[in-house]
Structure 1
Amino acid sequence: MRPRLLTWDVKGTLLRVRHSVGELYSSEAKLHGVPVEAEALDRSFLAAFRAQDQQFPNYGLGQGLSSQQWWVAMVKHTFRLCGVSDERVLSPLAENLYQGFCSARNWELFDDVKDTLIHCNGLGIRMAVISNFDRRLEQILVNCDLRQHFEFVLTSEDIGTAKPDHRIFIEALGRAQMEPEQATHIGDDVWTDYLPARAVGMESYLISRGEEEPAGANGLVPTAHILHSLQQLRSLLK
């Protein structure tokens, strides 16, 4: 049955970051006269992110932080782990990286995305976004020429809870005034996209471009529910 509503994850599903975090951070640091190797920044970013997310989950919303405050602190921590401690450098560096991440030059669409979204619009299928992202996502989608395809964009910052929490899917269904069986979710993660969408009664598919067995699938996802290209989704919607 063709769904009346398609909900989409974004990062890893529709868009990917064009350069590694280390490359982005290293380039910005050089503009501030601070040479730091991209590889070192990649390592320190992972450590800083894990620590920040553990102490302040979902951008620290429950502890009174904004996502901007969360990211600025996280970026500063990343650079401190690489030996950069001058606050006169760290503050403008972190603010620039936070603002600049919205730029289309930092993102690239997967090749199968644009035609698929246009195809779904043409079929009259309503579409929305459900993403564990902050409110910058709206502007990222605008800058990448994707926002017009979606009725609404629902982020974990908007709701105050992140996938796999069922409430973010239930909120999306409520906004669209749809029953779960009328909706399908597309994402690239077994645990935060495929399984929780099904747990609330939605149909769901896992996008895994080029992989025979997606990471973490472990028999949890039937072969028929794994898309190696969004071209397969277009075929299913005929």
Structure 2
Amino acid sequence: MLRLRLLTWDVKETLLRLRQPPGLSYAAEARAHGVRVEPEVLNRAFQEVYRDQSRLFPNYGQGRGLSSQQWWLDVVTQTFRRAGVREERILTPVAEKLYRDFCSARNWEELPGARETLRLCSQRGFRMGVVSNFDNRLENILTQCHLRQHFEFVLTSEAVGFAKPDRRIFERALRLGGVSPEQAAHIGDDYSRDYRAARAVGMHSFLLRAPGQGEEPEVPPEHILPTLGHLLALIEKG
């Protein structure tokens, strides 16, 4: 059995996921302002704009004079423009409304087993924290989704100033938890930003990977979580 004292958690696609693709939410808000645009077109535009914005202004514009709110407002307005929306008058109010909406539980849902797994981990006496490449809305999202009470700390890349896979965000978590790396494990869904990055600082880690979702040759089967419900059994086996 692994002698773990601290579990750190990724959030998006590990504990929480969007209830629907962004394009559907964007299209509904545009419709409320009298503008019709296809969700599929908005989805493609969003993916392109998000990728470009992340490359040009990494970690929500940290060090580049942007707040995360302005970063997201730019993403939304550019998404609509790339999708062919010409009604400039609606872009700012739509973007501001969507920014607020994505801070609430109405746009997020738990992954299967998330709440129960966190509850059982707390019962076993594990200390827990969040390590996430997210902006500062995350505290509120976790509170609204009734998960915040499980965590001693929530580290977002915006607040810390470093994004995974940067080792410094994991080192900050270890300091907050007051444990050595071998006493901690990280759980996440991304091979390089979660699994490999945590192991690079000496932590244990588990990769949430549903069957058929692709395989990483360097990940032993005992580090793969087909579902969150498998976590405690793997810890006890380890």
- Identify the TM-score tier after normalising by the shorter chain: over 0.9
- State the 1:2 CA deviation: 3.4
Provide the rounded CA distance (Å) in 1 between the counterparts of 2:234 and 2:162.
31
Moved more, 141-150 or 78-87: 78-87
1:201 and 1:139 map into 2 onto residues whose CA distance is 30
Residue in 2 aligned with 1:74?
75
Deviations 1:183-209 (A, max 9, x none): 000000100000010000000010112
Matches within 5 A, 1:78-117: 78-117=79-118
User: SS of 2:109's equivalent?
Assistant: strand
1:140-168 per-position Cα deviation (integer Å, ceiling 9, x unaligned): 10111100000010000011111001010
Distance 1:76 1:54 in 2: 17
Query: Counterpart of 1:91 in 2: which secondary structure?
Result: helix
What's 2:176 paired with? 175
- Contact 2:222-2:234 at 8 Å conserved across structures: no
Secondary structure at the counterpart of residue 154 of structure 1: strand
1:120 equivalent in structure 2 = 121
Matching residue of 1:136 = 137
Rounded to whole Å, the distance in 2 between the matches of 1:211 and 1:62 is: 39
The corresponding residue for 1:45 is 46
Deviation at 1:212, TM superposition (A): 6.4
Contact 2:223 2:234 in 1 (8 A): no
User: What does residue 206 of structure 1 align with?
Assistant: 207
Partner SS for 1:52: helix
2:149 corresponds to? 148
Tell me, in whole angstroms, the C-alpha distance in 1 between the residues paired with 2:121 and 2:128: 8
Question: Corresponding residue for 2:232?
Answer: 234
Asked if structure 2 preserves the Cα contact closer than 8 Å seen for 1:211 and 1:228, the reply is no
- Cα distance between partner residues in 1 of 2:140 and 2:60: 18
| Counterparts in 2 of 1:163 and 1:65: CA distance versus 1, 3 Å | same
Alpha-carbon deviations, 1:168-188, whole Å to 9, x = none?
000111111111111000000
Distance 1:85 1:175 in 2: 48
Structure 2: how far apart are the matches of 1:208 and 1:68?
Answer: 31
Q: 2: CA distance between counterparts of 1:147 and 1:7? A: 13
For 2:14 and 2:153, the matched residues in 1 are separated by 17
1: CA distance, partners of 2:206 / 2:132: 15
1:24 corresponding residue in structure 2: 25
- Counterpart CA distance in 2 for 1:178 and 1:87 is 52
Q: Distance in 2 between matches of 1:117 and 1:42?
A: 32
Cα contact 1:187–1:206 (8 A) shared by 2: yes
Structure 2: segments with no counterpart, 5+ residues:
none
2:223 maps to which residue?
Answer: 225
Specify the alignment match of 1:59 in structure 2. Answer: 60
Report the identity percentage. 56
Q: What secondary structure does 1:134 align onto?
A: coil
Q: How many residues align?
A: 235
C-alpha distance in structure 2 between counterparts of 1:151 and 1:85, whole Å: 46
Q: Distance in 2 between matches of 1:235 and 1:144?
A: 26
- Residue 237 of structure 1 and its aligned partner are, at CA, apart by 3.7
Runs (5+) with no aligned partner, structure 1: none
The list of structure 1 runs, each at least 4 consecutive aligned residues, that deviate by more than 4 angstroms after superposition, is none
